[in-house]
Amino acid sequence: DAKTTQPPSMDCAEGRAANLPCNHSTISGNEYVYWYRQIHSQGPQYIIHGLKNNETNEMASLIITEDRKSSTLILPHATLRDTAVYYCIVRVEPGNQFYFGTGTSLTVIP
Amino acid sequence: KAGVTQTPRYLIKTRGQQVTLSCSPISGHRSVSWYQQTPGQGLQFLFEYFSETQRNKGNFPGRFSGRQFSNSRSEMNVSTLELGDSALYLCASSAGVRYEQYFGPGTRLTVT
């Protein structure tokens, strides 16, 4: 039972905004959406998370639809170092179990 | 603040042996989770420990076990290693439920 669905791959031109979509139609009312990225089999790196309001930090913005069934991660000015696999995650209750899914492989093109 | 550390970083074992991996969480974090990453199955949850108690467990055989110490450091053990256990094992720590998890660099286990 997939908790999240993401496109397998995307390209983005360097300097442009990268918009990564995620579908989480079965999300429960108190489940947060987390975004992580993984570069070359390093440990996944935390990017941002949110519940229902849009969130922004120094790395990215997270836009969550009003019905909370989908979200979009926005990297405002993509650089070559943003090339990575991006995971949209819903935490599986109870406890702290993350369901990672297959992620989106983002390639930033010079 | 120091990040999550995992030891060893690389390990080569033979089928049938057992292995113990170690994880030191970020100071103050009481939750430690373990994940297995393989090319075929992706990132899969193994188990989570919180205050020395296993709080959650993924769908792995009993050969995979873990524990957490009073200082929140955690170990995972795999007994009777199989070729399919070759993977990157990742540990993540968190301040608690609904907080973000911070991952270590992983331990690359190769079973021959």
Task: Determine the residue among B36, B103, B107 to mutate to test chain A binding: the one whose Cβ has the most chain A Cβ atoms within 10 Å.
Answer: B103
**Residue A19 CB neighbour total at 10 angstroms:** 15
Give pLDDT tens digits along chain A (110 positions): 458 999 999 999 999 999 999 999 888 877 889 999 999 878 999 999 998 889 999 999 999 999 999 999 999 999 999 999 999 998 776 667 788 888 999 999 99
What is the number of CB-based contacts under 8 A between chain A and chain B? 67
pLDDT at residue A7, as a whole number: 96
Mean pLDDT of B58-86: 96
pLDDT at residue B102, as a whole number: 94
What DSSP designation does A5 have? B
pLDDT at residue B37, as a whole number: 95
Tabulate helix, strand, coil % of chain B (nearest 5): 5, 55, 45
Taking contacts as CB-CB distances below 8 angstroms, the residues of chain A near B96 are 96
**What backbone torsions phi and psi does residue A95 show, to the nearest 5 degrees?**
85, -155
pLDDT at residue A2, as a whole number: 52
Written as one letter, the residue type at A3 is K
Question: Given the DSSP bridges, would you call strands B10-13 and B107-111 parallel, antiparallel or unpaired?
Answer: parallel
Mean pLDDT of B2-11: 95
Mean pLDDT of B71-76: 97
pLDDT in tens, B26-45: 999 999 999 999 988 889 99
Question: Given the DSSP bridges, would you call strands B64-68 and B74-78 parallel, antiparallel or unpaired?
Answer: antiparallel
Task: Quote the minimal CA–CA distance from B93 to chain A in Å.
Answer: 10
pLDDT at residue B52, as a whole number: 94
Q: Which of B29, B37, B32, B103 is nearest to A44 (CA)?
A: B103
Confirm if B5 and A44 have CB atoms less than 8 A apart: no
Cβ partners under 8 Å of residue A70, min gap 6: A21, A22, A23, A24, A25, A64
Coil, strand or helix at A80: helix
Which position has the token pair 């913005």? A61
Taking contacts as CB-CB distances below 8 angstroms, the residues of chain A near B35 are 98, 100
Of A34, A42, A103, which is closest to B100 when you measure between CB atoms?
A34
Whether B24 shows a pLDDT value over 70: the answer reads yes
pLDDT at residue A83, as a whole number: 97
Taking contacts as CB-CB distances below 8 angstroms, the residues of chain B near A92 are 45
Q: Name residue A55's beta-bridge partners.
A: A62
Dist. CA B40–CA B43, nearest whole Å? 9
Task: Quote the minimal CA–CA distance from A79 to chain B in Å.
Answer: 23
Of A44, A96, A100, which is closest to B97 when you measure between CB atoms?
A96
Q: Name residue B66's beta-bridge partners.
A: B76
Instruction: Give yes or no for B90 touching A (CB within 8 A).
Output: yes
Mean pLDDT of B90-102: 87
